[in-house]
Amino acid sequence: MKSRQKTPALMLVLVMVIALLCSCAGGTQPPASSTAPASSAPAQTASEDKPVLKALVANANIDWNDPEANPVLAYLTEATGYLVAYDPLPADNPADKLNAIISAGTDYDFVVISASISGANVLYAQYASQGALLDLKPLVEELAPNIVDGIDQSLWDICTVNGTYYAVPTANPSGRDDTANIDYGIMVRTDILEKMNAKMPTTLDEFTALLEDYQKTDPMGNGDMNVPLTATIANLKELRLNAIGGAFGVETDWKDVSGALVPYQTQDGFYEYLEYMNDLYSKGLLDTEMPVNQGATTLEKFTTSRALCRLDGYWAVPSLVETFGTVSPDASFEFIQPLEKSGLAGSGTKTKNQIAGYTVIPKNAKNVEATIDYLNMKLDPEIFKVATLGEENVDYTVDEKGAFYPILPTFFEHRGNAGNYATGTNQFNNDYWLCRARKDENQYAAYCRLNYDYGSFIKVDPSTDVPCDVLAKISADISVSNTVTEEFIVNSVVSGITRDSFDAFVTDWKAQCGDKLITVYNEWYQNR
């Protein structure tokens, strides 16, 4: 009996020793929450007299504290002299943890509330108005000239809460100077078009005819497995915004009509749009499995040549090219333009003032001046450029027009994750970002197609300029609106729509959230 008892006990001890060894393995990464400063390599270039800063950040998709995986970290440490230890929030539900940490009165030196956290602007506004954050305006204006120079006034306006601002905003980059990016479009298999002797559709009628033709003539021999246009429920939103909605005038969520903001839910165009989509659905031109499709399903249908058209973003192009290269080398695809009808067309997007992250300083932070100094140094034009792009002729080249092109693969190795470390951006950020967009020529071509070739279709949603504190007032209503509207859209597309059901929806929507949204948005819009 004794020896039998010994073996499991021995094994247990062995397992625990291994466990302890493994958990000490990663000890080279300096944890932000311990009081001892970092002990290893990356610190060697940080100044002795500058404190180690602790930061709380979102987006745990990278190893924040690893300078080998993220050379930009080593560069920043050396260039600014400050070592920063990052604690990342979890990937799921980061808002709850952030709320807990902030409400417990944390002493992180700075926190980056990234837009990847859902409801980031509302969180920022609430923390600011509840006094959990330091007022940054006096500090920045006095101690951070780079920040004052680099950041556009319209961005400060969005961060303004109670007359002052509590964050250093990081702008969401865009390849266009006047609007945010267009990300999505309907992709069509151009090789199948050739087979059908059809051309790229430009109007809605042409598009419908194309889908019908595809279904009837069955050029790929799929029989009744054909799906002219495949989509998921989530795709319905971008189908409206960027592809089809423009033909009915609902390519943005809100429109300026004679100086007032009007929501798409109340417009006739919305009714006609749903009517059209239901028509597609009942004829089988829109995938009847749409409610249960997932991204992977539609991808499968597209890559196995069952689907003629599919909605996706320009970043999916490299992967698609790769897949087609293996399974159907003759395949080719292209983005369709936003479709026109009776002179109406459009692809909706947001204003250029979108914020990717709010860098804030909690009330109890201990090294305030050092933090401001650090943030300021990062926006020094030279430091910012090298941090974002790397070294000229090693990581990137400049052409005669001043455009930046990446040198692969070093650009990616050196600055692939650089964007995550940004705490503020300057006026050159868009140019730098285009360098990243150019890293794959197919992807860049797709991007140009959507944003430049089809640039004349772009319409801006004026409601997206709304400042955070206004947004905070209506965030719950926006959430209800999205839920109620989505349910109505899906049911209408699948089961049909009548004037009565539409009117009932509008009344219900207005009662639950719509009236409040219209009031609050217009109150802001008409008085700005």
Partner 1 sequence: MEQTSRHTGRPKNGKARKVHTLRIKKSLDEKIVSGISYLFITALVVVMLIPIMHVVSKAFSAEWAINTGSVGIFPVGFQVNSLLYIIQSKTFIMAFGNSMFATVVGTLCTLAVTAITAYPLSMRHLPYMKGILLIFVFTMYFTGGIIPTYLLYSMYGILDTRIVLILPGLINVYHMLIIKNFYEAIPESIIESAQLDGASSFRIFLRLVVPLSKPVYATITVFTSVILWNDYFGPMMYINNPNLKTLPLYLRDMIARANDTQALSMLLVEKNLSAESITAAAIVAATIPILLVYPFMQRHFVKGITVGSTKG
Partner 2 sequence: MKAAPISVKMLQEHKQEREARRRLAKKNYDIYLLLIPGVLFIIAFRYLPMYGYITAFQDYNIFAGILNSNWVGLKHFSALLSSPGFYNVLRNTLIISFGKLIFTFPLSILLAILLNEINITPIKKGFQTALYLPHFLSWVIVAGLVVTACAPSTGIINLVVKFFGGEPVSFLMDNNWFRAVVIVSDAWKEVGYGAIVFIAALTGINPELYEAAKVDGAGKIQQILHITIPGMMSVIVLMFILKLGSVLNANTEQILLLYNPTVYETGDVLGTYIYRTGITHMNYSYATAIGLFEAVVGSFMIFTGNLICKRATGRSIW
Identify what 132 binds: partner 1, partner 2, none; CB under 5 to 8 Å per kind: partner 2
**Quick check: 492 and 274 in contact, CB under 8 A?**
yes
Identify what 289 binds: partner 1, partner 2, none; CB under 5 to 8 Å per kind: partner 2
Residue 65 lies near partner 1 (rule: CB under 8 A): yes
Based on C-alpha coordinates, what's the Rg of the chain? 26
Contacts of 377 (CB under 8 A, 6+ apart): 79, 80, 82, 146, 383
User: Total residues at the site for partner 2 (CB under 8 A)?
Assistant: 32
> Using the 8-state DSSP alphabet, how is residue 253 labeled?
S
330: nearest Cα among 421, 422, 223, 220: 220
- Binds partner 1 (CB under 8 A): choice among 40, 44, 47, 103: 103
Identify what 97 binds: partner 1, partner 2, none; CB under 5 to 8 Å per kind: partner 1
Q: How far is the CB of 157 from partner 1 (least distance, A)?
A: 27
- Binds partner 1 (CB under 8 A): choice among 45, 51, 78, 99: 99
The nearer residue to partner 1, 105 or 291, going by C-beta atoms, is: 105
168: nearest Cα among 193, 192, 191, 143: 143
- Binds partner 2 (CB under 8 A): choice among 266, 475, 501, 522: 475
Alpha-carbon torsion, ordered 47, 51, 55, 61, to 10 deg: 30
How do beta strands 184-189 and 307-313 pair? antiparallel
Alpha-carbon torsion, ordered 171, 172, 173, 178, to 10 deg: -80
- Please identify, among the stretches 81-89, 185-193, 237-245, 452-460, the one whose residues bind partner 1 according to the rule CB under 8 A: 81-89
Residue 383 lies near partner 2 (rule: CB under 8 A): no
Identify what 480 binds: partner 2, partner 1, none; CB under 5 to 8 Å per kind: partner 2
**Quick check: 55 and 110 in contact, CB under 8 A?**
yes
* Number of residues written out for the chain: 528
Report residue 231 as tokens. 């989509």
- Binds partner 1 (CB under 8 A): choice among 92, 399, 400, 500: 92
Strand partners, 358: 113, 169
3-state secondary structure (DSSP) of residue 180? coil
**Quick check: 423 and 378 in contact, CB under 8 A?**
yes
Residue 130 lies near partner 2 (rule: CB under 8 A): yes
Residue 416 lies near partner 1 (rule: CB under 8 A): yes
Binding site for partner 1 (CB under 8 A): 12, 15-16, 18-29, 31-34, 56, 60-65, 86-88, 90-93, 96-97, 99-101, 103-104, 296, 299-300, 303-304, 313, 315-316, 318-319, 322-323, 326-327, 409, 412, 416-417, 419, 439-440, 443
Binding site for partner 2 (CB under 8 A): 95, 99, 102-103, 119, 122-123, 126-127, 130-132, 225, 233, 288-289, 291-292, 294, 296-297, 475-476, 479-480, 483, 486-487, 490-491, 494-495
